[in-house]
Amino acid sequence: MVEECYEETTQVGFMKLSTVEVMKAQDPICWDIAKSEYIDSMAQDEQLITLDNGSNYYWTHDIENFIEKNDCGVAA
């Protein structure tokens, strides 16, 4: 998501660095807060789902596809 908002690389002097990696390295606390807020908003929009109280998140469409492909529907 960050790469969609900013350029992929940032020039520092003569070096071209990954913008995301620079952000993570220079302010890891801010990065973690932004990441948590993004994940929370995706979960509220039901785009992400957690099955273990937030330890792991999964794309809702991936779970739905898995259920469809593996015939995990509820039997009538």
Every domain of the chain and the residues it spans: 1-45, 48-76
Count CB-CB contacts under 10 A for residue 39.
15
Q: What is the pLDDT of residues 23-54, one digit of tens each?
A: 999 999 999 998 889 899 999 999 999 989 88
* Structure token digits, residue 54: 């937030």
- Please tell me the distance from the alpha carbon of residue 71 to that of residue 60, in angstroms, as a whole number: 17
Each residue of 6-29: pLDDT tens digit?
888 999 999 999 999 999 999 999
Sign of torsion, CA 66 55 34 9?
negative
Residue 20 corresponds to which amino acid?
V
Mean pLDDT over each residue of the chain, to the nearest integer: 88
Residue 74 has pLDDT above 70, yes or no: no
Residue of 73 and 10 predicted with greater confidence: 10
Report whether pLDDT(73) > 70: no
58-74 mean pLDDT: 85
